[in-house]
Chains A and B, each alone.
Chain A
C-alpha cells in the first residue's frame, strides 16, 4: 500500500500536496512557492527558519498577539516588548509545536507565558498576595464581588481594556487567565506557582476592583 505521505508538511493527509511517499518525489515545492495560508506549510517553513514564512507569521498574528500581551502588561510599550520576545520564542521553539491545538492557540499561550515571565523579570514586587488574604476574602460578603452581565454589556471594548489595564498586576494576570483564556484555577495555580485559593482570591478581588472602577467611571449604575 502506498503511503500518502507529504514530505513538506509531514502529514499523511495533506490536502495540498498528495505525494506518494513510497516513490521518489520528482516535483517538490520550493519554499518560495509554498502556500503559506496552509498552516502546515507555514509551520514547516518556520521550522526551517524561512524568513518569508516568519514574516508571514508575524503579519498574520502580530496584532492579535499584541492584544493578548496588552491584557497582561501595564502599558503598550511593555506589551510590545513582550510580544517581540514572544515571537522570538515562537520562532525558536516552533519545532516543538505538537499540532494538537491550533497554531494561534499555541501562540497565544506562548505569548501569555512570555508576558508573565516578562513581567516577573521586570517587577521587583511580589506579584501575588500571601495565602492569608484568602481567609480575609472569605470573611467578606460575596455580593461585593459580583458583577452583573447586564451592567457591563454596554461597556465598550476599549473602556473595558482600559479598566483591566489598571488592575493590580496579580489581579490582572489571574483575571486574564481565568476569565479570558479560560484556564481553571488549578491550571493557573500550576502555571504561576500559587495555591488555588490564592488564584480564587485574586480573581474575586479583580472582579471587585473592576466593579468599583466601573462604578467610579460611571460605566455602570449603583
Chain B
C-alpha cells in the first residue's frame, strides 16, 4: 500500500511539474490580463459601478481555461508517453497498468485543480479589491463543482485518447463539452420538436452525454444568490464522481487491450 501510494505520488508530481513548466499557463495568464484589465477599466456610457459583467466574463474565461487545460493534460497523458516511448521504461518498473492509469490521472487532475485554484484565487482577489463579498458558501460549492468538472473532463480526455486519435478525441471533446454546457439543458425541447429515430437519438444523447452545465454555478456566484441545497450539490458531486469513474474504467479496459 505504501509503495503504491509512493508510485502514485511520483506520477502526480510529474504531471504538476509538466503543467507548471509548460508555457501554457503563463500564456493563459497573460491572455487573461490582456482581456480583463481593460475590461475592468471599462465604463460603458461613462457609467461606473458595474461589476457583475466583469465577474461573468472572468469566470467564463476560467471555465474556458479549465476545459482547455483539462483536455490538454488529459489528451497528452498517455499519447505523449507512447510518442516519446517513455511508457516502456515506465511499465518495465514494478507498476501495474491500473496504478499507472490512476497515478497519471490523479496527477493530471491535481495539476488542473492547481491551475483552477490559481485562477479562482486571482478572481477572488480582484473581487475583494472591488469591494465584493465573494467568500461565501456559494463560492466554495462553485469551486468544488468546477473542480469535479475538470476531473470529469480529464477522464474523458484520457478515455478518448485510447479510443480515437489524440487530435480527434480532443477536438470532439472540445466541441461536446461547450455544446453541453450551453445547450445540454435544452435537449428535451429539441427532442420534442423532432420525431422517429432522431428523437430517440436526441433523448439517448440527453441521458448519456456528460452534462457539463450541472457544474456551472457562475450565475449564482455573479448575481449573489446563495449556494444550492445540499441534496442538489451532493447529487451533482455523485454524478461527477460516477461519470469520471465510468470513463476511467473504460480507459483502463482500453489501456489493457492496447498493443504496446
Q: Do A and B bind each other?
A: no
